[in-house]
Amino acid sequence: MNLLSQPFDPFIDSTESQQLAELLAPNLKQHLKLQRFSKPKYHYHLNLIVLNLYQSWSSNQDKCVGISRRKNYYDEDQGLYQNKKLSHTYMTKTLDGLDALKYIDKVRGGWRDPETGQSETSRYRASKALIDLFSEYDLNQQSIVRDKAAVAVRLRGKKPRKTKTKRNPRGKLISYRPTKKTKAMTKNLKIINEALSDTDINLYVSNAEMKTLNKHMQKKHEEDPNELTEIQFSRKWLYRVFNESFEKGGRFYGGFWQEIRSTYRSRITIDHCATTEIDFDSLHPAMLYLQEGYKKEAYLDPYQLTKSVGVKILFREVRIKRNAIKLALNTMLNSKSYKEALGSLEASKLKAPKEHKSWESVIEAIQQCHEPIAHNFYKGVGLELQALDSQIVEKVLLDLIEQNTIALPVHDSFLCKLKDMKLLIKKMNEATEQYLGSDLFITLELRKLEEPTKALTVKNSNFYKRRNNYLKRFNTQEDPKEPYLV
pLDDT at 1: 53
Residue 321 lies in a domain: no
pLDDT at 449: 56
Residue 120 and residue 54 share a domain? yes
pLDDT at 44: 97
Identity (one letter) of the amino acid at 310? G
Global pTM? 0.93
Helix (H, G, I), strand (E, B) or coil at 460: coil
448: confidence class by pLDDT, cuts 50, 70, 90: low
Is the pLDDT confidence value at 311 over 60?
no
Show which of 101, 117, 139 is a domain's final residue.
139
For 184-187, the CB contacts below 8 A with 24+ separation are 185/152, 185/153, 185/240, 185/394, 186/152, 186/153
Residue 246 and residue 129 share a domain? no
Residue 239 lies in a domain: yes
Q: In angstroms, what CA-CA distances link 361 with 247, 304, 342, 366, 367?
A: 33, 14, 10, 9, 10
Show which of 103, 122, 139 is a domain's final residue.
139
Cα radius of gyration rounded to whole Å, the chain: 24
112: confidence class by pLDDT, cuts 50, 70, 90: confident
Is 305 or 1 the better-scoring residue by pLDDT?
305
Residue range 431-435: average pLDDT? 96
pLDDT at 301: 85
Show which of 139, 162, 180 is a domain's final residue.
139
Is the pLDDT confidence value at 419 over 50?
yes
Is 117 or 428 the better-scoring residue by pLDDT?
428
164: confidence class by pLDDT, cuts 50, 70, 90: low
124: confidence class by pLDDT, cuts 50, 70, 90: very high
Is the pLDDT confidence value at 152 over 60?
yes
124-133, 440-449, 463-472: segment of lowest average pLDDT: 440-449
158-172, 260-274, 425-439: segment of lowest average pLDDT: 158-172
β-strands 268-270, 273-280: how paired? Answer: antiparallel
Q: What percent of the chain has pLDDT above 90? A: 74
Residue 466 and residue 397 share a domain? yes
pLDDT at 281: 86
Q: What is the domain-level CATH number for residue 53?
A: 1.10.10
Range of the domain at 44: 5-139
* Contacts for 460 with CB less than 8 Å, ≥ 6 apart: 206, 207, 208, 454
CA angle centred on 21, ends 81 and 195, rounded to 5°: 50
pLDDT at 300: 79
Is the pLDDT confidence value at 312 over 60?
no
Residue 15 lies in a domain: yes
Number of domains in the chain: 2
Residue 205 and residue 81 share a domain? no
Residue 228 and residue 124 share a domain? no
Residue 73 and residue 172 share a domain? no
Is the pLDDT confidence value at 308 over 60?
no
pLDDT tens digit sequence for 171-210: 899 999 999 999 999 999 999 999 999 999 999 999 999 9
Residue 262 and residue 159 share a domain? yes
Residue 99 and residue 131 share a domain? yes
pLDDT tens digit sequence for 252-303: 999 999 999 888 899 999 999 999 999 998 899 999 999 999 998 877 788 8
Residue 394 and residue 269 share a domain? yes
Residue 316 lies in a domain: no
369: confidence class by pLDDT, cuts 50, 70, 90: very high
Residue 326 lies in a domain: no
Short-list 378, 376, 155, CA closest to 250: 155
**Mean pLDDT across the chain:** 91
Residue 209 and residue 274 share a domain? yes
Residue 200 and residue 253 share a domain? yes
Residue 359 lies in a domain: no
Residue 163 and residue 90 share a domain? no
Residue range 72-96: average pLDDT? 93
Q: What share of the chain is helix, strand, coil (3-state, %, to 5)?
A: 45, 15, 40
Residue 463 lies in a domain: yes
310: confidence class by pLDDT, cuts 50, 70, 90: very low
Residue 342 lies in a domain: no
Q: Is 426 exposed, middle or buried (0-12, 13-18, 19+ CB in 10 A)?
A: middle
Residues 393, 384: Cα–Cα separation, whole Å = 15
179-188, 224-233, 338-347, 446-455: segment of lowest average pLDDT: 446-455
